[in-house]
Structure 1
Amino acid sequence: MTTRSQATFPPPIPEARRWLDGVTFSPDRPLINLSQAAPVDPPPPQLRRAMAEAMERAETHLYGPVLGNDGLRAALAANWAHHYGGSVGPDQVAITAGCNQAFAATIAALTTEGDEVILPVPWYFNHKMWLDMSGVTAVPLTSGPDLIPSAEDAAGLITARTRAIALVSPNNPGGVEYPPETLRAFFQLAREQGLRLILDETYRDFHSQPGAPHDLLTTSDWDKTLIQLYSFSKSYRLTGHRAGAIIADPDLLREMEKFQDTVAICAPQMGQMAAEWGLSNLADWVAEQRDEILARRRAIADHFPQLEAKGWKLLGLGAYFAYIEHPFAETSAQIAPKLVREAGVLLLPGSMFFPDGDPSGDRHFRVAFANTDAAGIKDFVERLAVLDWPLAAQKGAA
């Protein structure tokens, strides 16, 4: 017998880290790790002080409400309503132990054995892993050359077993920001077909547009169709404290409460308290972090022509990520460990974001630039530019 876990591919980040085993890097040429989109710096000092004070409060060490602390739910509802110009109440917010758990709770509430969820490819690998382990079929939706999926194409994939369409914008792994009209088209499709539209907005705070990325929350009864997912990990550097959120229909959240109660009971109290303090006090600091991410994005764009001259292509660029195509004869899965050994660069190959047997990712890499800076990006580009490996055959070549 093969369990669902055994049938699911290994987590990509730990697998990539194993490529570092036995490899040493000199001080003058350290590893450039562009594999994971999680900040490694601690929360800002003012938030750490607030968290230290929270340690002395008895409730920090106790179970809390299954769907999250009332104060945080109210604060996030107010933040969401202000940002999107729509109506959001605390009863439409649930707090989870990270955004991955938000997705897992959502799928548990929406699906049963043999159901289907449409995922654009390249997809976020943890979404695919959870669907596999839930007995739910991930139906791949091919994106265009701009990495933007089409609602019209998605309509052709809907069957009697389809329960939802899951999007990530700004996208992981592609970095691209889905245009408002694209999100509106998916929303309309889901509403017409009686499906749920799951919109993972983990990287919302790093969107290149400062205002609302869409107007879906201004639609009447939006919560009967739309489910939004969010993470405090990136915005406040709370990755180790596991704080995420779901914004959805209160009736659906009560179904998710069953999942939450049996998996984690409640999200960690420290993470929730930190997130609530951050919502009230860190708007200016988050804006500064956004500016820094946008500066790194510009650095990718500024330096990439050096790679373009060598046959590389920049397919997507946005919050935390660039998605690139290499010119070499070997596949990205073959090249990725070589990049560690010969260039001192750790990237995830595109094959980790596509279905098994789909060769589309063989030419791609995801570049996660959350933990570098403009100088590191310049160094990264220069290391790739000098690689002199056999090139792939050109299409149409004799």
Structure 2
Amino acid sequence: MSSTAAHPLSTPMHNTMASPIVQAAAWLRSATFPSERPLINLSQAAPTAAPTEQLRREMARIAIEDDTAHQYGPVLGLPDLRNEIASQWNAHYHGDITSNDVAISSGCNQAFTSVMSTLCAAGDEIILPSPWYFNHKMWAEMNNVTVAALETGPDLLPDLQRAAKLITPRTRAIVLVSPNNPGGAEYPAELVTQFYALAKAHRIALVIDETYRDFDSRTGVPHYLFQQSDWRETVVQLYSFSKAYRMMGHRIGSIVASPARLQQVEKYLDTVTICPNQLAQKSALWAMQNLSDWVAEERLEILARREAVAKGFEGLKDKGWVLRGCGAYFAYVEHPFDMPSTELVPWLLENASLLVLPGTAFMPQGHKDAEKQLRIAFANADLAQISQLFDRLHQIEL
């Protein structure tokens, strides 16, 4: 006889917030849009286009000709890919990284969860600048790790003095994302160095997620972390191949950390996925070696969209809109309406065919500003759609 009683659910998992991306997808399933006002989806920070044709042809070739692409591989990733990352990162950061400092993961989210699992146990604490990337917060909740919210200023940059006051004996890491998700802010190199010094002084980790590194508007070295002689004692860097090479569904990311840290990461990865996807790794290696010019063109296109978004919000100032941050894939804004963001987002979907995310997805529960904020992920909108976005925002009267 089958039982109708529900299976027990762990309290941390029950208390973990739901993904706003999942909620947004649910809204779309029941939504319809008039032909004269098609949907502009500004909710998800991942490319919707397929990889370039050259890369797809190489993927097909590997799948057909390379039998090892279908077998288990090293838990920490293919040696050739780890070598290539170390080499290119050293050129980019003027750093001191070896292949033994590099591991490959099944996407950047897994890079984060694997590293944090080596740093934290239930009851420990991490510091996240707010607004934060919601999956970072979700991992902490489902593992009973306390998040100390580091409130950012009007420019969305984290404050060093505020961070220092949040450190307790249970603090295990400070997590930075630059260019930032959701805010778009690019953290100045000097500020990142100051956070490195703070983390080092307190013997905690500085975890820097650079998923959107390839779309930084700045030229030159974005930070000096890998130029520090003892960076391995403090620094962990995370990266994603999803954005630069449009390899979202292939789930491939990387970790740069000390070999001692990666030995512990290896236990996690061996338990969760055994090894990263072999086809994805071989494809990523080819992409790194052959698509630098293409990535540079993609960067310029994203920067052009960023400029158009910034200009568009300049024209909305008189209506009360405030652009808090704009960079990488994101604009983070304050809206002028009395309606809270959690109600405004479905209203915009129904009445303006615009899908964005509310600030409540990125802020502590009950934060006074969350209901005035929206995240707009513009990377998948071309310049014509960005123009339509602002035409529709101009027309809103609430």
Helix, strand or coil: the match of 2:127?
Answer: strand
| Distance in 2 of aligned mates of 1:336 and 1:363 | 11
Superposition map of 1:326-365 within 5 A: 326-365=335-374
User: Pairwise mapping of residues 212-227 of structure 1 onto structure 2 (< 5 A)?
Assistant: 212-227=221-236
SS at match of 1:67: coil
1:210 is displaced (CA, Å) by: 2.5
User: Once the 2 structures are TM-superposed, how far is the Cα of residue 181 of structure 1 from its aligned partner?
Assistant: 1.2
| Displacement of 1:21 | 3.7
In structure 2, the residue matched to 1:3 is 11
User: In the alignment, which of 50, 53, 56 is matched to residue 58 of structure 2?
Assistant: 50
Does the CA-based 8 Å contact 2:37-2:352 persist in structure 1?
no
The reply on whether 1:78 has 2:87 as its aligned counterpart is yes
Q: What secondary structure is seen at the aligned counterpart in 2 of 1:140?
A: strand
* Structure 2 counterpart of 1:65: 74
- The one-letter amino acid paired with 2:230 is D
Look up the SS of the partner of 1:183 in the other structure.
Answer: helix
Checking the alignment, whether the CA contact within 8 Å between 1:186 and 1:197 is kept in structure 2 is: yes
* Structure-to-structure mapping, 1:79-118, within 5 angstroms: 79-118=88-127
What SS is found at the alignment partner of 1:302? helix
The residue aligned with 2:292 is: 283
Q: Which residue type is aligned with residue 162 of structure 1?
A: T
CA shift for structure 1 position 2: 4.6
The answer for the alignment partner of 1:393 in structure 2 is: none
Q: Give the Cα–Cα distance (whole angstroms) in 1 for the partners of residues 26 and 99 of structure 2.
A: 43
**1:175-254 equivalence runs, <5 A:** 175-254=184-263
Give 2:34's match in structure 1, choosing from 26, 39, 53. 26
Task: Give the percent of matched residue pairs that are identical in Structure 1 and Structure 2.
Answer: 51
3-state SS of paired residue (1:29): coil
Cα distance in structure 2, aligned partners of 1:305 and 1:212:
29
Secondary structure of 1:279's counterpart equals helix
Whole-angstrom distance in 1 between the partners of 2:369 and 2:327: 21
2:47 matched to 1:39?
Answer: yes
Letter in 1 for 2:120: T
The letter of the residue matching 2:49 is D
Q: Report the CA distance between 1:359 and its aligned residue.
A: 2.4
TM-score after normalising by structure 1: 0.96
Aligned residue number for residue 157 of structure 1? 166
**Any idea what SS the aligned residue of 1:107 has?**
helix
Q: 1:300 & 1:135 partners in 2: Cα distance?
A: 38
1:372 equivalent to 2:372? Answer no
User: Which aligned segments of 4 or more residues in structure 1 are displaced greater than 6 angstroms?
Assistant: none
Unaligned stretches of 5+ residues in structure 1? 390-398
In the alignment, does 2:15 pair up with 1:15? no
Tell me which amino acid in the other structure corresponds to 1:318: G
- 1:254 & 1:211 partners in 2: Cα distance? 32
User: Would you say how many aligned residue pairs link Structure 1 and Structure 2?
Assistant: 389
Contact 1:33 1:346 in 2 (8 A): yes
Structure 2: how far apart are the matches of 1:63 and 1:2? 32
Letter in 2 for 1:192: A
1:93 positional shift = 0.3
Alignment check: 8 A CA contact 1:208 1:294 kept: yes
Give the alignment's Cα RMSD to 1 decimal. 0.9
The answer to whether the Cα contact below 8 Å between 1:65 and 1:266 also exists between their aligned partners in 2 is yes
Q: Which residue of 2 aligns with 1:120?
A: 129
Distance 2:338 2:71 in 1: 56
Q: 2: CA distance between counterparts of 1:225 and 1:268?
A: 28
Q: Distance in 2 between matches of 1:359 and 1:267?
A: 41
Corresponding residue for 2:144? Answer: 135
| Per-residue deviation, residues 86-109 of structure 1 (Å, max 9, x unmatched) | 111000000000000000001111
Unaligned runs of 5+ in 2: 1-8
1:295 to 304, 310, 318: 304
Deviations 1:246-296 (A, max 9, x none): 000000000000000000111111111111011100100000000000000
Aligned to 2:5: none
Whole-Å Cα distance in 1 between the matches of residues 338 and 35 of structure 2? 31
Q: What amino acid is the match of 1:215?
A: Y
Note the C-alpha offset of 1:176.
Answer: 0.6
| Separation (CA, whole Å) in 2 of partners of 1:274 and 1:360 | 43
CA deviations on 1:139-198 (whole Å, 9 max, x unpaired) are 100001110001211000000000000000000000010111110110000011101000
Instruction: Name the counterpart of 1:263.
Output: 272
Q: 2-side partners of 1:269 and 1:20: how far apart? A: 33
Contact 2:86 2:97 in 1 (8 A): yes
Rounded to whole Å, the distance in 2 between the matches of 1:263 and 1:371 is 31
Aligned mates of 2:250, 2:389 — CA distance in 1: 31
